[in-house]
Structure 1
């Protein structure tokens, strides 16, 4: 690629403990300053602390001659460990920690200061280190004689570069359903044509990387030698160039081809291999001289038809190995470009991880990264089987997923990129998962990925960032995600307080999830409410007083009447909506199954889930292993129209002529029971 500038990264590299221990064990030291410090002072404080974890803030003041780079060394007194750092890279060797400057904060003038922070783990006691040494000189708060700089060994190339590259890509964003769209061109799936302004605005949101999925099927000859259209390569190169010029790391791949034609590899191996190799040969040649901020991903979500896992692993190994050989042999920047290899289905089940590990071990290439995708615990992600809340089971699934990826790869020096993450329910309806529960998922995913040194790239097929207005369709969600890039946010047991429209207004309590923060206060807009008058706090229990609720409820008409925001010591505030409601009601109806909708007066309430059972109590409708149906697929509320629709997908798996009892569960805790019978394509619905 001609004319692409080399960039200086603007984002901190996150330090991963396992890689640091590996580096320390190999005797690798980062270069020190040309001269050690003559005098220095260190301010160390614990900014926040929670069970098993804490956040530390460190400020270095140089009292001597200016230094051009620095390393700060200390020893923890109680076995603490740094798990992640910002504005510095850290290594642990037993209890001793060495923090080194980033490219942008190495210089400290005389009497100048630099600060960095970290998250750490602790148990029992979290004591303060007794002393600190800057570039080999003990920081006493006074000026002394300069010491001799230590002998150093240059940092390694290869694997360390791959780790640093992938961590510098955090956070990332996907340009989904554009160049990967299956159809005539990039607008085939409803998104506008990509513009340079879009890319620039994505970068302006704070993202450091962009994944550009590309589907090649309609732009490749279906006969040997399977040539790729030059015009399409030109278009991909144009978009990649915009992203590089916007100072973004860029990842391109082979995308939906994985299921369009590659899935038949076992039955049509020669053609699949030839097509695959033709694409990567063309891409390797086109981007041979692109800067190292461009990464290649061998294939998206690899899958193979009519084979067992053992065969599938072998087929994927063949593709990944071929990809590696083609790119490396093309020379130029491709000789050591970071290459990203997926697990089967980009899934983090242990067998998938083990199979990819075997491939990576055989390649023996330090510039390899692994990729997986994560869309959450499936019943929660699509709101089925009664999983309406971000509960302990949902959280445990997330932790297990990231833990397995960390233990398999990151702990062994191989970076992990979660090339897509989000909630599957977004594909049907962005309201599939209730707002507060959605925010808890994204807050925790961002936090836990940081603990494991794993980079996340948000899947956005147009439902999140408006690609012409350049605004977020859910600003509250983006605020929560952005906070999770660097810190934790407090949440609460709920973001909804329901008050009956004619009921006596009483105090209402919610439980705060502090997540290592401290509660600072309650606000309405920019106005701070008065503790003791408008609210009280006892431990983690926040109680909103009846007098404040009455003010917020106003005339008590149905719906959200106002909201308060719980403010914490860090992260995003937590909104709590105050809602006036009455018992929802439904009316009898008849109609064709294809268009049947239940007239509904929601009366300010919101639908959480729906149960469907036959008279004998067995589940009815699709996914008949559970009575709780899938939100947005088997039922869909329309609050504006005043209906709940039961689409064809529901009726196609209901027994003809058999009465079904529907129980609608609302977020207020209220329920409505309704009966439906479908016969010959026509539906009768009633309250009895």
Structure 2
């Protein structure tokens, strides 16, 4: 009998203890997440990197060959550096290519005049209160040869860093060194081999040892260590983590670069919008960096970010989609405690007038450091000329904000009369839209929305008619399609062979790359098909589909015979001009039966986004709820056992 009572007591105690242990275990993730988001709990170097937010790249300047103006940017001045600081930037990355300024072996002496010029710009930057990062930039082009000239590359690399670290040995720790920009050892940027990882580890270890033994303040200077190509794949992050762990040094910073989901970043493959796939790419990339480094106490700097299409033109990607990309990237980087440094090769901040070429890019990025910004499915509303004007409904991404005002110029619109907002659905009335139309095609009006927080969002009211394309005879080397755009804008282009198969470069998709295969020029009424396109087009018939943002799709046929190319359009072709509807509509690229474009952005963010909660915070809510349930369950079991006498 005594044994039975003891067994019952033991069973009861075990059950209660098990429930309480489970409760404690469930509460751990929420406590860990809270600790990681608490600035006071971050390591000293994580606080250092947080103080660098946001950062800016002085790109296409000292990384250019020959002189700092070789790639079209003006000479750097103290006033420029002060202007960058005045814009709210806290750090500057100065990409430097030492190639062409390095003497012959064995000393590899650096050009003294060039070194003094770099020193001058560093001094200006520090005087402006900026954190400063310098590196070996396009020197990665000769480091590339390490597979065939291991000792020669390593000796040169070491000699350069010995001189740099000695020259700046007494500079404050707000000057940091980055070992090498986007290191790689193959023309295939995606290729990973144990040999490549070993070579980069050797370079990074050598860099680390040289700087740490260079005297002065270099013993504690923050050092920035990249993965292969500064890529964020898990394999490359894991190898970088191994290298940094071996260094066993608290003053290290991991660095990656981020240029978005590739098809969206260059506008190809039908990825014309910042859709769920592009958004997920941001999340997965930053999550990998966070879990590999940040949650283990190692800070991460996104040393470059932007979109690859900017190298051609900022018009490669639709304007509103860029804004949505910048908004979400800034928001999610903040959630994952990553410091961002904008890559600006001259296309963003005008270095002569000290103004932003696209002020809304700047505004949405800087607002994002404090709060979410609201946006919409599209920033354009297309109204076909002479069609009856109807109400237009636009899904909004409110992101936790409220709409406070819509304005057209000096006119403040009236809620209920000019527009209606029902949850996240904004309806612009036919009466309002009709009042905004003129007799011209193209932009007729801009509606500016202001919200309770974040940047403004603008809608462009665009009147259009069906674009017209005409026949032409030309050559592969120079081919343009005479085009009357009639207020519409080209989004993307499909190219397939009449006999079957995708035509042109990147033949995994019929949707060709904007700026590489084709370039629209509405101001001069033509679409250029570039030589890069025809270099990979076989003789025969090629069928084009020109997708416009209004939803109109215009067919055009090419007949390629050797160097001769005949373009057939308009009355001479059998092409069909199709439109999704004649009603007014937000800008959209219509899907075709043969292939599909990326899905449009979701109309409404998930609730966790609207409440500005990260994945970790959402998990914490679940853990808390689970903990409460377990507490109740434990107390209930204890009470039942007590009543049955099992604790006596």
Shared topology, TM-score over 0.5? yes
1:485-524 correspondence runs (5 A): 485-524=369-408
Report the Cα offset of residue 515 of structure 1: 1.3
Of 122, 127, 139, 1:245 maps to 127
Deviation at 1:222, TM superposition (A): 3.4
Question: How many correspondences in the alignment?
Answer: 541
Other-structure match for 1:128: none
Which among 281, 284, 289 is matched to residue 400 of structure 1? 284
Select the residue among 428, 432, 454 that pairs with 1:544.
Answer: 428
Mapped pair 1:166 → 2:49: yes
Q: Give the 5 Å matches for 1:563-642.
A: 563-642=446-525
Task: Give a deviation string over 1:146-176, Cα, whole Å, max 9, x none.
Answer: xxxxxxxxx9xxx822111111111000011
| Aligned counterpart for 1:289 among listed residues 166, 170, 194 | 170
Structure 1 residues 309-328: aligned runs within 5 Å:
309-328=193-212
Structure 2 CA distance for partners of 1:556 and 1:79, relative to 1, 3 Å: farther
> Alpha-carbon deviation of 1:536?
0.6
Higher strand share: 1
Aligned counterpart in structure 1 of residue 95 of structure 2, from 213, 217, 226: 213
Change (3 A) 1:323 1:557: same
Deviation digits for residues 662-685 of structure 1, max 9, x if unmatched? 100000000110011232322210
- Structure 1 position 552, deviation (Å): 1.4
**SS in structure 2 at match of 1:622:** coil
Q: Is the 8 A contact 1:501 1:557 kept in 2?
A: no
- Are 1:228 and 1:278, in contact at CA under 8 Å, matched by a contact in 2? no
Question: In 2, are the aligned partners of 1:277 and 1:326 still within 8 Å (CA)?
Answer: yes
Q: Is the 8 A contact 2:103 2:110 kept in 1?
A: yes
Measured at CA, do residues 583 and 98 of structure 1 come closer, stay the same or move farther in structure 2, by a change above 3 Å? closer
Distance in 1 between residues matched to 2:290 and 2:450, nearest whole Å = 33
Deviations 1:147-206 (A, max 9, x none): xxxxxxxx9xxx82211111111100001110001x221111111111111111111111
Task: Find out whether 1:471 has 2:355 as its counterpart.
Answer: yes
Please state how far the C-alpha of 1:248 moved relative to its aligned partner. 0.5
1:273 is the counterpart of 2:154: yes
Query: Contact 1:466–1:473 (CA<8 Å) still a contact in 2?
Result: yes
Shift of 1:566: 2.1
Q: Secondary structure at the match of 1:193?
A: coil
Q: Distance in 2 between matches of 1:198 and 1:82?
A: 44
- Of the candidates 330, 354, 369, which is equivalent to residue 238 of structure 2? 354
Partners of 2:392 and 2:210 in 1: CA distance: 64
> Per-residue CA shift, 1:387-408, capped at 9, x if unaligned?
0011111100110000000000
Do the aligned residues in 2 keep the contact of 1:372 with 1:419 (CA within 8 Å)? yes
Deviation at 1:648, TM superposition (A): 0.3
- 2:73 is aligned to 191
Out of 536, 546, 560, the residue aligned to residue 664 of structure 1 is 546
Per the TM alignment, residue 302 of structure 1 is displaced from its structure 2 partner at its CA by 0.4
Q: Find the aligned partners of 1:530 and 1:356 in 2 and give their Cα distance.
A: 56
CA contact (8 A) 1:266 1:305 kept: no
- Cα deviation code 1:590-623 (max 9, x no counterpart): 1222221111000000000000010133110111
With over 3 angstroms needed to count, the CA separation of the structure-2 counterparts of 1:643 and 1:517, relative to structure 1, is same
Q: For the Cα contact (< 8 Å) 1:439–1:477, is it kept in 2? A: yes
Q: Secondary structure at the match of 1:289?
A: coil
C-alpha displacement at 1:573, in angstroms?
A: 1.1
2 CA distance for matches of 1:79 and 1:220? 54
Q: Report the secondary structure of 1:659's partner residue.
A: strand
Counterpart CA distance in 2 for 1:399 and 1:545 is 37
Tell me by how many angstroms 1:526 deviates. Answer: 4.4
Structure 1 position 308, deviation (Å) = 4.9
Note the aligned Cα RMSD (angstroms). 1.8
Residues 382, 631 of structure 1: 8 Å contact kept: yes
Does structure 2 conserve the Cα–Cα contact (< 8 Å) formed by 1:518 and 1:569? Answer: yes
Q: 1:650 aligns with which of 529, 533, 540?
A: 533
Between 494-503 and 219-228, the greater mean CA deviation after superposition: 219-228
Q: CA deviation at 1:527?
A: 3.4
1:91-125: CA deviation from partner (whole Å, max 9, x where unpaired): 639xxx9787xxxxxxxxxxxxxxxxxxxxxxxxx
CA contact (8 A) 2:466 2:486 kept: yes
By relative contact order (CA 8 Å, sep 6+), the higher-ranking structure is: 2
Distance in 2, matches of 1:199 and 1:287, equals: 20
Q: Greater shift after overlay, 413-422 or 614-623? A: 614-623
Q: Secondary structure at the match of 2:43?
A: helix
**Equivalent residue of 1:677, what SS?**
strand
CA offsets per residue over residues 349-394 of structure 1, 9 Å max, x none? 0110000100111000000000000000000000001000111111
Mapped pair 1:373 → 2:257: yes
Q: Which moved more, 1:475-484 or 1:337-346?
A: 475-484
Please, which runs of 5 or more residues in structure 2 have no aligned partner? 1-26, 574-648
Number of the residue aligned with 1:223: 105
Quote the Cα distance in structure 1 between the aligned partners of 2:363 and 2:453: 12
On the 8 A contact 1:421/1:458 being kept in 2, the answer is yes
* Residue segments in structure 1 that go unaligned for 5+ positions in a row: 1-77, 85-90, 101-154
**Counterparts in 2 of 1:52-63, with a 5 A limit?**
none
Sort the Cα spacing of 1:350 and 1:308 in 2 relative to 1 into closer, same or farther, 3 A. closer
Q: Quick check: which one's helix share is greater?
A: 2
Contact 2:39/2:47 (<8 A) preserved: no
Q: Where in structure 2 are the equivalents of 1:13-162 lying within 5 Å? A: 92=35, 160-162=43-45
